[in-house]
Amino acid sequence: MNQFLFHRLKLGQWSSPDNFRCISSVSFSTDVRRQRLENLRSLRKGKAPTNSNDAIDYRYRGAPTETPFQNKHIKELWGNSVLDGEDERRKKDTSNSKFDVKQSIKWEKDSSKFVSFFDGVDAKMTKNKQASKPLLTNEGSHADDNPNEVGSNFSTLLDDILKSDSKPKHIEPIDQIDKTPSIFDLFPLKSTTINPNKYDKHSFDMYHEAMKTIVESDRFGRKDTRKPIKADVVEPVMSWLLRDERVLDYDYPALKNADKFGIGIDENDSDGSLSKEVNDGRQLNKGFRSEIYIKGTETSNFYSELKVQNENFRNKLNFSEEQFDLVERAFKNLASYCAKNSRSAPLTIAWEKIKEAGIIPSNDTLNVCLYVTSTVTSGVLSSALSGGLSSRGSKRQLSAVLSILGKDNDTNKEVEDENILEAIDFPTELALFHDLLYKPTEKSVSLRVKRLVSLGDASGAEHLLDSFPSNDDARLRTYLPVLKLYCEQGNVPAALRLFKCMRNEPTVRLEPENYVLMISTVAENGYFKSTSKPLEGAQNIGYRYAKGADLFDELVTEMSEDVLEISAASARRLHNALVEGLEGECFSDKAEPIHSLGGVVTRNEKAGDIDLVTSRVLIEKSTGNCPRTGVTLQLIKLEKAQQNQLHESLLELSKTRFEEFTGKTETRSQRNDDYAAEKLNEFALWLNKREGKPFTAIIDGANVAYYMQNFDKGCFNFHQIQFVVDALEKSHEHPLVILPYKYCTDSFMVSMGLKHFRQSLSTKERRILENLSKKGQLYRVPSRCLDDYYWMLASVSDQTKSRNGENLDVSHDDVRGRWPGTRPMLITNDQMRDHKLGLLEPRLFRRWTSCYIVNYSFTAFVRDASIDREISFSTADFFSREIQSNKTVTGTAWHFPVSDWGLDDRFCVRIPRVPANESASVPF
């Protein structure tokens, strides 16, 4: 191989593809390759490949006049065999090479020198070194001629310094020494001038695209009378709207003060104390806050600043009233465009132009902008001016450089913090702009709260929430950032106070994760310990206990009222928080924390009385027994008040569904909106007034008849209904079949998947309907009414007269062998996925399904034939799938259903009540 060429490639001097091809075509023997590899490793360390410790001089490279010296240098380092072997290789391989090697070598010698960046650095550094003065010089010596004498000269100098009280003459002061310039001094960065009025290119490109679509539309260039606007009126407006830089500066001190000191509340004018000017202004502009017309208020000052800016803008561009109306219309249309297309970046440029022109957008336009910024994420929402971004960025970069150099000081930090505080991000500025002119909304307050939270001002954010004029529109997203910040800061009293306020707000729906956040924060700060200090202010906001396991039980009790289940991640968070916060308590079995990627460990062995239990357990399905704590989980049934609530909800749902169904085919004058609710109420009265045997099973007839019938000869099978009725009667149940009215007629349309056909009743099918009707076990749901609401209501009906106060539920030791559970039970495989059922309260719906729903399974019928006449019923739950507590000897055992686990798995928690004398002896 051409080692000289390889050496030069290694040094970055050759970049021709032909040289790479040349190298790749050369073959090595094993010994030569190993030797070359060793030499290359030495070369990388900056040493000679031979045993010599002399460093390789990398400065000699590339010049044709230096080739003989380089050849000599290579011979000394690599040996004579390198060049000799290269000559022999040239003679042998000329015929097999892809191109003439001689031409390659000739090209190598004649090629121009390649000067890299580091060649220039070496040259400048050498030049500066020669021109600079050395740090230590020994007068009269020839240290430069003989480098080996430097060590002895330095020792002599050091002895002279130690013996002498004064500074030697031959040592120059440090501040007078010319230091060797750094690479940044030799190659200073090119200064780029930034136009502070220029808009951010990325945002402006999207704005330009959107605005161009708007201004080029026919609707924009016409008046309300549809007459086209003159070109000399439109063109200046379009030119300014599509301009990529600001033409007029603006400053709104009132907006900055509002961010720094907040915004006052619009007082209610119930006593008529406002002036006549204010009342007249309200009549003209009903959306504005009343303070706009009261001089000296922050709102009035901001309104005046906008008016002044508006006048300056019109004078600067000579815009008429008609042209300014076009500008306002363009931004109004742009806001609608961004909302429809879910794009927020164009608004950042539009917002800068709105402030530049002193425009006062309407309340509706600002609300649209607030909607876009609060729901659509964007890459650029801090500022639209490229200069502003660059200046802030340069200050932060300079601060970072000073910090690295050890020159950072308190002044720099204060300046940087002040710059961050002064820089208002676009969403916050938009919210402040809105709230200074109009009544604050939930969206505007949420954005301002996020701003304060980002600055770490949790108390200021909470104060803003408290000053919100009306909490009717408050949402979880409004409060949650403040709660999270309190928890991160470890301010448990403030977090608990805010959490209690959130629970009391009717419009705030707390999620399971919010409860886990609050309980975990209290646990991590040690307030569940028996020896903990009382949680400050807990009893003042309604809690009976302020520390220990009793406080935990009280918090989880609140959680169980609003939450049905938690996630696996929440279970892990609770486990780790309890393990951390209860460290040091006198427990016989101590749990270990779980890795963030791990899961809660299943432990089904019996726990000791004073063991801390935070584990996953498998509940015995048929008994509800917990193997870890020994308690039996309960089946929580609907109370009387909840049954009445379900009854009223079903009536309302039936009315709503009927309105939707008939609204497409009938006018309001033709339909009776209360028809469905009246018919459902008639069914409830029939159940309560009928005499005879009470129903213990309600059959969803349509669900049973369609079961497993999705095959070629499938149909609405009445024989399957009869089969289920017979099976229930053999089990000593008294069933009621509920069928939609159309299936009780002689013929009806059937829809199963892609199949649609008309089915006519056979003689056997008519006989089934007649027998059920004769025995009083069939109820026909009126046409245009949904049968789901009928069998749901029947399951919770009192059946007052037929029941006569009798409890229909079946115990575990029934003498006739009936399976235990609540009666009447509901026989259906319906998954309850109807979106309208979501209007029911989740806990109410969960308890109803747990207590009453019984699933079935059998082999499908073909008409009246069936291969297997066996049927199985999946009975209702023996224990409820919701958070519940059960007392033990040493504490309360809590069981949490987990959405990611099996139906019978629970997250079990028990904090034992450790006697005070035992826990006090344990060091913390």
Q: How far apart are CA 883 and CA 896, in angstroms?
A: 5
Q: And the tokens for 562? A: 């609003």
pLDDT at residue 535, as a whole number: 95
Say how many CA atoms lie within 13 Å of 213 toward its Cβ. 13
How does pLDDT run across 865-896, given as a tens digit for each residue?
Answer: 888 889 999 877 888 889 999 999 989 999 99
How does pLDDT run across 651-677, given as a tens digit for each residue?
Answer: 888 888 887 777 655 555 556 778 888
- Residues facing 907 on adjacent strands: 616, 896
Question: For residues 128 and 141, which has the higher predicted lDDT (pLDDT)?
Answer: 128
How does pLDDT run across 536-592, given as a tens digit for each residue?
Answer: 999 999 999 999 999 999 999 999 998 989 999 999 999 999 999 998 887 777 788
**Cβ atoms of residues 479 and 502 within 8 Å:** yes
Rounded to the nearest angstrom, the gap between the alpha carbon of residue 449 and the centroid of all alpha carbons in its chain is: 18
Q: Around Cβ 134, how many Cβ atoms within 10 Å?
A: 11
Count H helices and E strands in the chain, helices first: 36, 12
How does pLDDT run across 140-188, given as a tens digit for each residue?
Answer: 444 444 444 444 444 454 455 445 444 444 444 444 444 555 555 655 5
What mean pLDDT is predicted for residues 684-690? 94
Question: For residues 218 and 757, which has the higher predicted lDDT (pLDDT)?
Answer: 757
Question: For residues 78 and 361, which has the higher predicted lDDT (pLDDT)?
Answer: 361
Sign of torsion over alpha carbons 849, 854, 857, 861: negative
Residue 537 backbone class (left: φ over 0; alpha: ψ -120 to 50; beta: rest)? left
Helix axes 675-689, 788-795, angle to 10 degrees: 30
What does 74-125 look like in DSSP terms, one character per residue? Answer: HHHHH-THHHHHHHHHHHHHTTTSSS-HHHHHHHHHHSPPPP-HHHHHHHHH
pLDDT at residue 482, as a whole number: 95
Please state, for a pLDDT cut of 70, what percent of the chain lies above it.
67
Rounded to the nearest angstrom, the gap between the alpha carbon of residue 622 and the centroid of all alpha carbons in its chain is: 40
**Cβ atoms of residues 200 and 386 within 8 Å:** yes
- Amino acid identity of residue 669, one-letter, is S
Check whether 376 has a pLDDT greater than 70: no
Is 691 buried (19+), middle (13-18) or exposed (0-12) by CB count in 10 A?
exposed
Q: How far apart are CA 211 and CA 675, in angstroms?
A: 52
Q: Around Cβ 302, how many Cβ atoms within 10 Å?
A: 24
How does pLDDT run across 816-835, given as a tens digit for each residue?
Answer: 888 888 899 999 998 776 64
Nearest Cα to 884, choosing from 619, 653, 689, 664? Answer: 619
Answer yes or no: pTM beyond 0.85.
no
Distant-in-sequence, close-in-space partners of 283: CB < 8 Å, separation ≥ 6: none
- Amino acid identity of residue 523, one-letter, is A
pLDDT at residue 653, as a whole number: 85
Nearest Cα to 449, choosing from 491, 483, 487, 497? Answer: 483
* Residue 268 backbone dihedrals phi, psi, to 5 degrees: -75, 130
**Cβ atoms of residues 430 and 369 within 8 Å:** yes
How does pLDDT run across 27-77, given as a tens digit for each residue?
Answer: 444 565 666 666 666 655 555 555 444 444 443 344 444 444 445 545 555
Rounded to the nearest angstrom, the gap between the alpha carbon of residue 408 and the centroid of all alpha carbons in its chain is: 36
pLDDT at residue 91, as a whole number: 59
DSSP symbol at 692: S
What mean pLDDT is predicted for residues 583-608? 88
* Residue 273 backbone dihedrals phi, psi, to 5 degrees: -80, -10
Cα–Cα–Cα angle for 149, 151, 155, rounded to 5 degrees: 120
Length of the chain: 924
**Cβ atoms of residues 839 and 792 within 8 Å:** no
Place of tokens 């802030």: 392
Query: Considering all CA atoms of the chain, what is the largest pairwise distance in Å, rounded to the nearest integer?
Result: 134
**Cβ atoms of residues 315 and 358 within 8 Å:** no
pLDDT at residue 738, as a whole number: 97
How does pLDDT run across 763-814, given as a tens digit for each residue?
Answer: 999 999 999 999 999 999 998 898 999 999 999 898 999 998 888 988 877 8
Cα–Cα–Cα angle for 770, 773, 776, rounded to 5 degrees: 150
**Cβ atoms of residues 197 and 245 within 8 Å:** yes
Is 724 buried (19+), middle (13-18) or exposed (0-12) by CB count in 10 A?
buried
State how far the alpha carbon of 705 is from the alpha carbons of 104, 627, 722, 860, in Å: 89, 41, 9, 10
Residue 526 backbone class (left: φ over 0; alpha: ψ -120 to 50; beta: rest)? left
Cα–Cα–Cα angle for 691, 696, 700, rounded to 5 degrees: 105
Q: How far apart are CA 573 and CA 593, in angstroms?
A: 10
DSSP symbol at 693: S
pLDDT at residue 658, as a whole number: 81
Distant-in-sequence, close-in-space partners of 12: CB < 8 Å, separation ≥ 6: 114, 116, 118
How does pLDDT run across 695-746, given as a tens digit for each residue?
Answer: 999 999 999 999 999 888 899 999 999 999 999 999 999 999 999 999 999 9
Q: And the tokens for 341? A: 């297309």
Q: Is 222 helix (H, G, I), strand (E, B) or coil?
A: strand
Using 50, 70 and 90 to split pLDDT, how confident is the model at 224?
Answer: low
Q: How far apart are CA 644 and CA 551, in angstroms?
A: 33
Q: What is the mean pLDDT of the chain?
A: 77
What does 636-676 look like in DSSP terms, one character per residue? Answer: -PPPHHHHHHHHHHHHHHHHHHHHHHHHTTS-TTT--TTHH
**Cβ atoms of residues 697 and 825 within 8 Å:** yes
Say how many CA atoms lie within 13 Å of 64 toward its Cβ. 9
Helix axes 492-504, 512-524, angle to 10 degrees: 160
What mean pLDDT is predicted for residues 257-270? 66
